[in-house]
Amino acid sequence: MNPVSKELALVIINPYPIRKSRTGGVIARYLVRTDLKLAGARMVGASPALVKEFADYLANYDPDDPGKCELFSNYVKKAYCADSNSGHTHRSMMLLFEGENAVEKIFRVTGDTNQQWLCGQTVRDTYGDLVRHPKTGAVEYFEPCVLVGRSPKYVKQMLDIWKKYLKTDSGIVHGAYAVGPEEEMQQTLVMLKPDNWRQPSLRAGNIMDLLSSSGMRIVGVKKLAMSIAQAEEFYGPVRGNLKKVFNIFGADRAAQALSREFGFPVESEQLKELCNYLAPLFAEREFENIVEFMTGRRPSSCLPQERVQPGTEECLVLVYEGPGAVTKIRDILGATDPLKARPGSIRREFGTNIMINAAHASDSVENARREMRILDVANDASFEALINKYYG
């Protein structure tokens, strides 16, 4: 028997479920109901040109079911255009799932438009709506939650349209949030760390659900494998903090260890000079551990050319926007040490220790800008390259 080859499947989360903060639940459903890898993610603010071309395609994409075509085409025209009153951009999210029989698996978990929509078995059962007139059967309300292709042919046709607008319509989507005259708009970066992606689980989706309680909007998303160079720059400020931390606890722990070993009391004050010597060594080792955790590679063991190559571990980067975004997101995230984080916070619920603590969030607006620059969240050449690999 020939082995089944990998496929690339597309899921477009519609603007309405994104506004209703259902994004995490949708992503979690696909991750745990399939064995597929979330290989790419982009936020899109669809332009009028994209909306028109995509709606025109949907109007005729399946000649055997013109009613369905009309339903989806009219939905896109209404749901994806910018708000006529406020002018706010409507955000959608493109997700690429990779694996064996990916297209069929995604379609099965999504659910068809012809289903009964009476239970929570599929994504559309749970997060979508289809309301018909009780007598005529005419559709009175339609929210499919996501748009997918039911075969590789349809996936390719959809991607052929959407990838033409990636450079102009995707990245950091602006104009998605209304603020009052007294409110300050902020953007902050959240990174879901590698421990969330090593096996299919609800973790990533549940974390996104918890973050949505902040009231902030997701305006950018990127799936990436961080390089050593990126990780060293991203976590560069931690080096100095690690030295300070060692000087705080190092003398006490060394004094306790020496007292046990030699059988007579050793005072921590006598070991401060030793700790000043050891602090840089401790900081360098811990920093290497952090970089290895985030990239899967140890800097001291890599060749120079390997430093700029994508690592073997993966993260999901999210940009949240809204008034007071930095403080609100960090409050939901919790203290760096999961054992000290409050019950119900993300790090308390999903973290293991100070390093393996589920997620990172910027601690200031300035650092958010620095981190977004390092990870180049606004751009993602690998996203289009992945599409071209399967459907180029």
- Between 252 and 146, name the one with better pLDDT: 146
One domain for residues 217 and 345: yes
pLDDT, position 328: 97
Range of 353's domain? Answer: 173-225+314-376
Per DSSP, the residues of 300-349 read GGS-GGGGGSB-SS-EEEEEEEEETHHHHHHHHH--SSTTTSPTTSHHHH
Measured distance CA(342)–CA(333) in Å, rounded: 9
Residue appearing with tokens 């006598």? 270
One domain for residues 389 and 354: no
- Between 243 and 301, name the one with better pLDDT: 301
Side-by-side strand order, sheet with 315-323? 217-224, 315-323, 185-192, 359-361
- Say if residue 264's pLDDT is above 60: yes
- Between 112 and 2, name the one with better pLDDT: 112
- Give the confidence band of 325 by pLDDT, cuts at 50, 70, 90: very high
Mean pLDDT of 295-324: 95
One domain for residues 14 and 145: yes
- Say if residue 275's pLDDT is above 90: no
One domain for residues 158 and 243: no
Asked which of 308, 334, 350 is the last residue of a domain, the reply is: 308
pLDDT, position 2: 46
Residue appearing with tokens 């991607």? 159
- Between 129-143, 154-168, 188-202, the lowest mean confidence (pLDDT) is in 129-143
The Cβ-side half-sphere exposure at 324, using a 13 Å CA radius, reads 9
One domain for residues 181 and 327: yes
One domain for residues 104 and 142: yes
One domain for residues 215 and 161: no
User: Can 88 be counted among the known catalytic residues?
Assistant: no
Measured distance CA(220)–CA(166) in Å, rounded: 13
pLDDT, position 115: 61
Measured distance CA(346)–CA(129) in Å, rounded: 30
Q: What is the CATH number of the domain that holds 382?
A: 3.30.70.141
pTM: 0.91
**132-153: per-residue pLDDT in tens?**
888 888 888 999 999 999 999 9
One domain for residues 82 and 132: yes
One domain for residues 324 and 365: yes
What distance, in Å, lies between the first and last C-alpha atoms of the chain?
A: 27
- Give the confidence band of 1 by pLDDT, cuts at 50, 70, 90: very low
Q: Which DSSP state fits 147? A: E
pLDDT, position 372: 98
The C-alpha angle 358, 362, 368, rounded to 5 degrees, equals 135
- Say if residue 165's pLDDT is above 80: yes
pLDDT, position 256: 86
- Say if residue 183's pLDDT is above 80: no
Question: Are the C-beta atoms of 308 and 229 separated by less than 8 Å?
Answer: yes
Asked which of 308, 326, 357 is the last residue of a domain, the reply is: 308
Residues in contact with 181: Cβ distance below 8 Å, sequence separation at least 6, in sequence order: none
Q: Which DSSP state fits 113? A: T
**205-235: per-residue pLDDT in tens?**
999 999 999 999 999 999 999 999 999 999 9
Mean pLDDT of 52-74: 95
**361-381: per-residue pLDDT in tens?**
999 999 999 999 999 999 999
Q: What phi and psi, each to the nearest 5 degrees, are found at residue 40?
A: -165, 150
User: Dihedral of the CA atoms 253, 256, 262, 264 (nearest 10)?
Assistant: 140
- Say if residue 182's pLDDT is above 80: no
- Say if residue 181's pLDDT is above 70: no
One domain for residues 242 and 279: yes
One domain for residues 125 and 189: no
The proportion of the chain whose per-residue pLDDT surpasses 70, expressed as a percent, equals 95
- Give the confidence band of 242 by pLDDT, cuts at 50, 70, 90: confident
- Say if residue 288's pLDDT is above 50: yes
- Give the confidence band of 167 by pLDDT, cuts at 50, 70, 90: very high
- Say if residue 180's pLDDT is above 60: no
Catalytic residue among 88, 90, 174, 360: 360
Mean pLDDT of 56-80: 95
Q: What is the mean pLDDT of the chain?
A: 91
- Say if residue 269's pLDDT is above 50: yes
In Å, how far are 228, 232, 314, 315, 349 from 309, measured between CA atoms? Answer: 8, 13, 13, 15, 33
Measured distance CA(91)–CA(173) in Å, rounded: 7
Helix or strand holding residue 3 (H, E): none
One domain for residues 47 and 27: yes
Number of domains into which the chain is organized: 3
